Structure 1
Amino acid sequence: MKKLLFSLFFCFSCLKFYAQQSNNWTRSELGISLGTMYYIGDLNQFRPFYETNLAGGLMYRFNYHSRLTLRFNYSYGSLDADDKDSKITINKNRDLNFHTDIHELVGGIEFHYLPFQLGHKRYPGTAYILAQFGAFYMNPKTNYNGQEIALQPMGTEGQIGAQRYNKVQLCIPIGLGAKFSLGKSAAFSFDVAIRKTFTDYIDDVGATYYPNTNLIPSLNGTLAGSISNQSIDGTRYGIRGNSRTSDWYVYAGAMLTFRLGKENVCWDWKK
């Protein structure tokens, strides 16, 4: 966690220094975002915008071209789900729940549908496609008998030692949005982007096949065994989730950014 925060501070410090020192500083924007975040996975397979949680972050843009902007984001939010809310009988019987904070650092591009230039009357707004790549930190926990318990150390699917999943994972945000100039030095934008991840353990329910959860206490303790099998009838064994798909999450938000330098109405766009 400390390494992630240090990397975030270092990246934004470098971006600000670059914007101030280069001849292109007037193309740089810095701002904030506010929105919602929700999860798609083994505990929420079919319900869009289920358990949406408040999210926000920081954002840097470099307007490389009238059709192309480089963009970097730090976002913070949380994800959660509970089998008690499911309409699927087998999931209700599974009776699992989780929640996790998400710290995300990503970078990529906005490709504009129309030419856009901040503060220019001729190019006041555009829709765009967002494509990014980065990493996020997660730490799934569960509420078990009124007690909050971190799940990764438990090895709830029989993982031991190095077999336990990493709390830092990669993601690929893909989305659609729109942005508009607010005067000569500010812009308002909003987008919705789904995150493709490469882990099935945001919810601690993954692809590991463990034939009998009664054996888990001998590996990771009695509490791990109890948390692993919380089924209402006490007879659920085998794979707890879908081994063929990874978990996803979505961030939908609005952003307000400000130009870091003075207006330059004659940007020399690269062709």
Structure 2
Amino acid sequence: MSLRRSPTPGPPTRRPPSPLNNGSPQLNAAPADQIRLLDVQALDVRLQQLAHKRRSLPEHAEIETLNKDLTQLRDLLVAAQTEESDCAREQTKAEQDVDQVRQRATRDQQRLDSGAVTSPKDLANLQHEIVSLAKRQGDLEDVVLEVMERRESAQERVNELTERVASVQSKIDDATGRRDAAFEEIDREVASVTKEREVVAGSVPADLLKLYDKLRAQQGGIGAAKLYARTCQGCRQELAITELNEVRSAAPDTVVRCENCRRILVRTAESGL
């Protein structure tokens, strides 16, 4: 942005209240200083735009959505890991039960084969127990197989979710990298514009700049506006004929205010006066 330069201004003077100033004490500043205020305003608008751009980067929404997906996937992964762990413990218990039954059946079979049991009743009982143990072993082995199937399914689910978590995390990392790169670019421009603003604002009379900053805080970031074709560029309202006549008759160094929005009105060759 080119800087409009003028001789170093003297301190602004104050005159009695005027309708152009909404009853406030009249502030005066050289026309060049008032025009320079538009340069300050343009830089402040650019800083506002950069702040909005920083807040509105598409990566913000992308990262937020991905983080929600990641949270859900991690919850599912924890549930799958818990299920796999439970199945592992259940499988271990079932295999121990099978082993215990197998060992008992082996001992019974050895007793039967040894001939040490001679009583017909004891032999019958022993044979019956061996048959029962064989059935029990078969049932328990079926349980082991069923648990193994459930565990295998849980492991597959864990592997699938682990891959999905890694994929989403990779997307988050990529979006975060793009966001941070955009931050760096925006912040560099903010630093440049801020420095330029300090230089330009430093050439504006202190009282005028103080009024501008006060109005800018009150009026959504716009404290000074050009009067263009009889219209305030701050509120986009055309001046009423009485207000227009007052502006026409005002001295060039009079700091005038918009009757509608109270912003500082800066007169230029395009004001249509």
TM-score (norm 2): 0.18
Which structure has more RCO (C-alpha within 8 Å, separation ≥ 6)? 2
TM-score (norm 1): 0.19
Q: Which has the higher helix share?
A: 2
Q: Which has the higher strand share?
A: 1
Between structure 1 and structure 2, the one with the greater Rg is 2
